[in-house]
Structure formats: C-alpha cells, structure tokens
C-alpha cells in the first residue's frame, strides 16, 4: 500500500464512482459487485482489483469499523462552567453508562459556528449520537440537524414542526412560579435580571416575567428590569445598575449564576437577603445550594431533561425509523432561605439555614 | 455484502490471518499481497478475493479513515462539577482550537476503571491525543498509558521515572503559602479540611500542612484536622465535625468546593469570616470569587497547567519521537476578603469586598 494511495484516501475517500472509473465498468456494475449481488466473473475481478488499488472501503465496512470504535455519545453544551449543564450531564451520563456507552462533552461557547461544525462533524460518525442544547437556534442548526447521519436530540425550544427529537421545558411557566411565590409573600417591587433577549431562554423568560406581573395586576416598571448575559459577573454588574436607579423588594434572576452575582451585589450594598430583598434564581443548581443564604430557585428539571434526552437518543439509535418525538418536563420551585418568610410554609430540611 | 459478513466484521475485525485462511495461502503470502509488495498473479487474485469476502480492511486504510475522522483531543477529568476543571478545560480548549482541533471532555467520576477504560479505548484512535488528570494513579494507569497508541499527557503527580509527558504543580508549597499568610496575620489555631488521604492531592496536601505548621514551630493539634472528600457537602459536614470539638481561628481547605462548604457552616454557626475565623481555599476558581465574602485561595495554576499540557500534547502529536517531558507550574496565593485583615497589604480590586 503506497504512500500516494494512502494520501489520496485520507484526502478524498474513494467512492463507487472512483472504483467504476478505474475498473472501466459502469457505476451500476461496480455497485452490484461491491454490494455482493453479482456480476460476470470478469467484472467481479476488475471491480475487486480496482477497489483494492484505490483503497476503496465499502460504506458498510466503514460503518462496522466505526461501530467497533465508537459506543460514544456526545453532549454539546454552551458553557461547561454553568452548573445547570453539570446536572444535565450527570443524568445523561447515568443513562449512557447503563447502555454500556461512554459520554463525551463538547463546550461550544454558544458560538453558532462551533455548534454547526460539531453537527457537521457527525458525518464522520465518531459518535453514535449527540445531544445538543443550543441557546440560539438558527437555520444553519436546522439544516445541520436534518443532514446528520447519526441521531441528534435537541434539549430546548424548537419550532413545532422541526422533525427532530426534542426535550423541552416551560421556562415561562417557571418564571410565573417565581413571581407567584414572591407576590404571595408580600413582594410588589419585583425586579428581573435576564440574559440576552436574542437567545431562546432570554426571550422566553422575558415574556414569562411580563405575563406573570400582568396576571397579578402589577404594573411593569422597566427600571426594575436589567439585562446582562447568563454569567455571574454579568449578574453582579446588572444588579449594580438596577440598584442605582430603583429599590426592588425582590429580584428574579434568569439563572443561578446571575442570582449568585445579584446576591453578591445586594450583600455588598448592605441589603439583607431576604429581609430587604428576596431573591429567586433559576435552574436549581448545586450553586444555588452553595450560596449563603441558600438561594430559592426555579427548577427547569435539568436532570430530568437530560435523562429523557438520553433515553430518546438510545431509542432512536436502536430504531432509526421512529417518528420524531417530543418530551416536556414541568418546572417546579424550590423555596430556600433567600426568599423564605415566616408566613411561607417552606419544607424545612437539613439543607436549609435561615439567615 | 451479506448481513452475516457484516455481523462478523462488527464482532471481530478480520485480520491477515483470516484472509490467509480463506485464500488458502500462507500468512506471509497474504501479508505481501495485502501490503502491496507482490505475489504471483494467482496468489494476488486469491488473496484479494478472500479479503473482499471477509470484509478485510488494511490497517493503513483503517488508520487513514480514522485520520479523516478525528482532529479531536480528549480531556478526561474526575469531576466535571469541580470548577477547577472548568478553568483547566477553557485553557486547553483555547490551545486546541488554535490548532484547528476540537476538544471533548470525559468525566470519569474518579473511578479508576473508567479512567483505564478510556485509556484503553484510545486503541481505537477516536482522538488524536488525550490529557488526563487522575486523582489516583495505579499500576493499571501506567500500563494503559504505556500501551496507548496515541499521545497522552498527564496533569498531576507521577513517579519521576514514568515515561510520560507530565505537567505538575507543587501543592505542598501551595499549602505552605496559605499557612504562612495565616500565621503572618496572627492566626495560630489553624485547622485543615482535606480530601481523602489515599488520593494523590490529598496525601500531598496533608504532608504540606504538617510541614508548614512545623516550619512555624506550631504544634499540630489533630483535633483541628478533618477529612471528607473533595466536595461542597463534605466540606460543610467536615467543618461541622471540626467545630464540634475545636475552635479554630483559621481554616485551610484542600479545594474551593470544600471551602465553600466550610464557609456555609461557619456562617450558619454564627462565626464571622474573617473576624472570628479566616478561611483559605485552594485552586482559586470562579467559585471562590462567587462566595460572599470572596474566598482567599491558593492558585495551583490550573489554567496554566492546562495550557502547558495542551502544548506538550500538540508537540508530541507533531513529533512522536520527542523524549518524555515534564513541566512545572508554581502555586501562588490570592488574598481576598475571607482572610484579609487591616494589617495585610492585600491588592485592592473591584473584586474585593471586605465583609
């Protein structure tokens, strides 16, 4: 096997067209021989020799080689530093491991080119399937999803007619649960620190917050809304800006990283939490439970979403003919010290410390 | 290509032995034909037909197929929820991306069987190389490292003669920096919350703490030492046990997750931080900066170690003949509100808030 041929096969994998041209037979004839369904002895010989000369590997063999190699499942997330993905990943890992496979994780940094590059790389079948949780969904994503030769499950909102296995939650409903809780405990100047409105979660949370206030007949004060990104430092800075012009008695934050930043600013600015300002985060991550006081947080069922996504993916790998399926996970609210009040019948636990 | 043959090639990849047996020629003859170095026309025909029948793929083709597929670098870490690995991963990702490759991350849960399974899986060349950061290094690790057909770089302590590219830091020295700082600010009843002593980092930190106290002529009080694992909840529980029997004026914690747990217990038990108890974590992660008060922490250069490991790996991929190399990263101490005192000339920054 010469250097040149190797080089060729690394650059452009020989196809049935290459073999047919080399053997001087029709593509149909080459295909019949390569698929083992016959041909004259002379054609069989010519095609087999041509196949050996160009280093042709039948797709089936390539696939079986690949199947010897993989047993890997990929998870692509935006920010590996966001604890919400840690919980999702652990749940996925448990399902994947129980199927005898191993999980690998890609961090995309939320860059669309990274996400679509990963999806396109699936053409190389380096994994048996992928779970992806994009925070922005573009036409490029949908094209790459539809072209993917291996199964992909999307965690997050997709258009209703997207022909893709999908696990979602209702973050609008989740925001409403936070607002309902704060209103029930007497808060009225409820602020909101959100992520970018051009992201799927940012837009859903914004709509949810506005609808929830309206449902309680509370007029929206735009001074009580701030936008950063979905990170700790942004939450701290956004809360500084908000406190410079308004005096909320409660803050809802679009994730727990933002809420941790908001807590820092509130405490550094002398606000007592929850006495002066009640605080509710979102995603109900380990980070919320690591803060002091521990943060109330809306759970969007990240572990459950991960588990369901992994199950959908394994089912799809086992049976590629299944129709596209869609699963939903309901949000819930964990009330902890950062928004608890005497009149709130919170579930006491060893975890909880009232400040 | 029949179902049965595919099945066979998925279970056991045909070798030159399979082809020789099928063609009825010697292994040497089959090998010559398959490697393109000749044979009688009859032998060539028989071997090529046998190769096609059993679905034989030359290793070279398998490798070149594989090289079309990868451009991937793997990072295997114990706990993807530990923020120290987030910082390391981001640094590795930057180097890997600049080489046109993509990074994938495996979480091993610190389970040795997982780590060695990953190393053995490298035989399938699904990545171009791997960076692994084991917290326990067994004989199985070393065997798997030596057998690996693709380059592996280890982040962490290894035996001096292990023929493996290695990036390390000096956590004993790091612990000493924490103790020196606490002694310099007047602390004498310095407690220590460590991870398991049968891990490489746990053992090094224990030795470092004992040596550092001795260097200051402070008698060791075993009541001031507690051991859990390297997690938040363990840090909280260990600090409860420690406070039940001793009254430290400072605590050194073996990582920032433990320190976050210790902070929770200290505040919940009415200790003021740093007035009553100064607190120093280790790894200098984002989590340390998210706490209130912000945590002083010993940096073990996780980003720098990641960057160096990625560089060593790319150099090794480019030139497999390099001798084993070893890089060291020096620890440093970031003093923040959790251990700052008026007499400490801390670098003031926007980050820092004295409680």
- Range of weakest confidence among A258-272, A326-340, B87-101, B297-311: B87-101
* Whether residue B205 is found in the same domain as residue B287: yes
In percent, the amount of chain A with pLDDT more than 70 equals: 87
Does residue A342 belong to any structural domain of this protein?
no
* Whether residue B212 is found in the same domain as residue B320: no
> What is the Cα–Cα distance from A324 to A208, expressed in whole angstroms?
27
Pairwise CB contact (< 8 Å): A286 & B353 = no
Nearest to B64 among A6, A61, A72 (CB): A6
Residue A332 to chain B, least CA–CA distance (Å)? 23
Pairwise CB contact (< 8 Å): B61 & A67 = no
Per-residue pLDDT for B89 more than 70? yes
Give the strand order in the sheet containing A225-227: A225-227, A190-194, A250-253, A278-282, A296-299, A332-334
Q: What pLDDT does A37 receive? A: 59
Residues in chain A: 355
Pairwise CB contact (< 8 Å): A90 & B81 = yes
Residue B79 to chain A, least CA–CA distance (Å)? 9
For residue B193, what is the DSSP state? Answer: E
Does residue A339 belong to any structural domain of this protein?
no
Nearest to A104 among B49, B104, B353 (CB): B104
Q: Tell me which chain A residues have a C-beta less than 8 angstroms from the C-beta of B3.
A: none
At residue A82 the predicted structure's pLDDT band, cuts being 50, 70 and 90, is: confident
Residue B9 to chain A, least CA–CA distance (Å)? 7
- Range of weakest confidence among A99-108, A319-328, B9-18, B96-105: B9-18
Q: Tell me which chain A residues have a C-beta less than 8 angstroms from the C-beta of B34.
A: 1
Does residue B224 belong to any structural domain of this protein?
yes
* Whether residue A223 is found in the same domain as residue A309: no
Query: Is the model more confident about B353 or about A261?
Result: A261
Residue B259 structure tokens: 């320190």
**List of E strands, chain B:** 72-77, 102-107, 129-132, 152-155, 165-169, 190-194, 225-227, 250-253, 278-282, 296-299, 326-329, 332-334
Search chain A and give the residue with CA nearest B105: A105
Pairwise CB contact (< 8 Å): A287 & B292 = no
Q: Which residues pair with B154 in a beta bridge?
A: B132, B166
CATH number at residue A158: 3.40.50.2300
- Range of weakest confidence among A275-289, B21-35, B334-348: B334-348
For residues A50 and A16, the answer to whether their CB atoms sit within 8 Å is: no
Among A65, A80, A106, residue at a domain's last position: A65
> What is the Cα–Cα distance from B287 to A256, expressed in whole angstroms?
13
CATH number at residue B7: 1.10.260.40
Domain count, chain A: 3
Does residue A20 belong to any structural domain of this protein?
yes
In order of A130, B147, B193, B296, the CA distances from B281 in angstroms are 37, 37, 10, 6
Residue to mutate among A30, A38, A69, A236, with most B CBs inside 10 A, is A69
| Interface contacts A/B by beta carbons within 8 Å | 156
Query: Is the model more confident about A59 or about B84?
Result: B84
Q: Which domain holds residue B175?
A: 171-300
pLDDT tens, residue by residue, A201-253:
999 999 999 999 999 999 999 999 999 999 999 999 999 999 999 999 999 99
Does residue A340 belong to any structural domain of this protein?
no
- Range of weakest confidence among A37-51, B147-161, B191-205: A37-51
* Whether residue B295 is found in the same domain as residue B210: yes
* Whether residue B146 is found in the same domain as residue B263: no
Search chain B and give the residue with CA nearest A79: B86
* Whether residue A189 is found in the same domain as residue A79: no
* Whether residue B126 is found in the same domain as residue B221: no
Residue B295 to chain A, least CA–CA distance (Å)? 13
Give the strand order in the sheet containing B332-334: B225-227, B190-194, B250-253, B278-282, B296-299, B332-334
In order of A8, A22, B19, the CA distances from A54 in angstroms are 8, 8, 19
* Whether residue B296 is found in the same domain as residue B175: yes
pLDDT tens, residue by residue, A14-71:
778 888 889 999 888 887 777 655 678 888 888 888 887 777 765 544 544 444 447 8
* Whether residue B264 is found in the same domain as residue B199: yes
Within 13 Å and on the Cβ side, how many CA atoms surround A340?
18
Residue to mutate among B19, B45, B268, with most A CBs inside 10 A, is B268
Of B247, B275, B261, B256, the C-alpha closest to B355 is B275
For residue B322, what is the DSSP state? Answer: S
For residues A343 and A305, the answer to whether their CB atoms sit within 8 Å is: no
Q: Tell me which chain A residues have a C-beta less than 8 angstroms from the C-beta of B49.
A: 48
Q: Which residue has the tokens 């150099």?
A: B315
> What is the Cα–Cα distance from A50 to B106, expressed in whole angstroms?
41
Q: What pLDDT does B63 receive? A: 45
Does residue B111 belong to any structural domain of this protein?
yes
Nearest to A57 among B10, B65, B268 (CB): B65
Separate counts of helices (H) and strands (E) for chain A: 14, 12
Cβ neighbours for A261, distance < 8 A, ≥ 6 positions apart: A231, A232, A233, A234, A235, A236, A237, A238, A239, B290
* Whether residue B122 is found in the same domain as residue B31: no
> What is the Cα–Cα distance from A317 to A301, expressed in whole angstroms?
24
Ramachandran area for residue A294 (φ above 0: left; ψ -120 to 50: alpha; else beta): beta
> What is the Cα–Cα distance from B240 to A242, expressed in whole angstroms?
37
Q: Tell me which chain A residues have a C-beta less than 8 angstroms from the C-beta of B128.
A: none
* Whether residue A177 is found in the same domain as residue A292: yes
> What is the Cα–Cα distance from B84 to B305, expressed in whole angstroms?
11
Nearest to B80 among A9, A89, A117 (CB): A89
Per-residue pLDDT for B273 more than 90? yes
Q: What pLDDT does B338 receive? A: 98
pLDDT tens, residue by residue, A140-196:
888 888 888 889 999 998 887 888 999 999 999 999 999 999 999 999 999 999 999
SS3 annotation, A162-193: CCCEEEEECHHHHHHHHHHHHHHCCCCCEEEE
**Helix-strand-coil percent breakdown of chain A, rounded to 5?**
45, 15, 40
* Whether residue A176 is found in the same domain as residue A289: yes
Give the pairing of strands A152-155 and A165-169.
parallel
For residue B36, count CB atoms less than 10 angstroms from its CB and return exposed for 0-12, middle for 13-18, buried for 19 or more. middle
Does residue B355 belong to any structural domain of this protein?
no
Residue to mutate among A15, A39, A63, A292, with most B CBs inside 10 A, is A292
Residue B80 structure tokens: 């993807």
Does residue B213 belong to any structural domain of this protein?
yes
Pairwise CB contact (< 8 Å): A105 & B102 = no
Report the Cα–Cα distance between both ends of chain A, in Å, rounded: 73
What phi, psi does B301 have (nearest 5°)?
60, 45
């Amino acid at each position: 096997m010469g250097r040149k041929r190797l080089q060729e096969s690394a650059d452009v994998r020989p196809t049935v067209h290459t073999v047919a041209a080399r053997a001087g037979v029709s593509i149909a004839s080459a295909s019949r021989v390569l698929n083992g369904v016959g041909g004259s002895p002379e054609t069989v010989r010519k095609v087999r020799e041509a196949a050996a000369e160009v280093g042709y590997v039948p797709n089936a063999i390539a696939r079986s080689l690949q199947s010897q190699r993989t047993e890997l499942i990929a998870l692509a997330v935006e920010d590996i530093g966001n604890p919400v993905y840690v919980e999702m990943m652990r749940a996925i890992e448990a399902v994947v491991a129980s199927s005898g496979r191993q999980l690998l994780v890609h961090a995309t940094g939320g860059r669309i080119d990274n996400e679509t590059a990963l999806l396109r790389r699936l053409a190389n079948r380096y994994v048996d399937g992928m779970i992806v949780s994009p925070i922005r969904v573009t036409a490029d994503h949908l094209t790459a999803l539809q072209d993917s030769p291996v199964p992909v499950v999307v965690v997050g909102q997709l258009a209703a007619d997207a022909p893709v296995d999908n696990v979602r939650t209702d973050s609008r409903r989740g925001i409403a649960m936070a607002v309902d809780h704060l209103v029930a405990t007497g808060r009225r100047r409820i602020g909101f620190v959100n992520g970018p409105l051009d992201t799927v979660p940012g837009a859903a949370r914004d709509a949810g917050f506005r609808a929830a206030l309206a449902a309680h007949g509370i007029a929206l004060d735009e001074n009580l809304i701030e936008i950063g990104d979905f990170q700790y430092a942004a939450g701290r800075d956004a809360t500084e800006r908000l406190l410079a012009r308004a005096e909320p008695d409660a803050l809802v934050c679009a994730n727990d990283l933002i809420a941790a930043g908001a807590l820092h600013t509130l405490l550094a600015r002398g606000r007592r939490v929850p006495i002066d300002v009640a605080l509710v985060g979102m995603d109900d991550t380990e980070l919320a439970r690591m803060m002091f006081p521990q943060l109330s947080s809306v759970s969007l069922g990240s572990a459950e979403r991960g588990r369901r996504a992994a199950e959908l993916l394994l089912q799809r790998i086992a049976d590629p003919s299944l129709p596209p399926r869609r699963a939903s996970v309901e949000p819930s609210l964990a009330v902890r010290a950062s928004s608890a009040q005497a009149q709130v019948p919170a579930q006491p636990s060893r975890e909880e410390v009232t400040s």
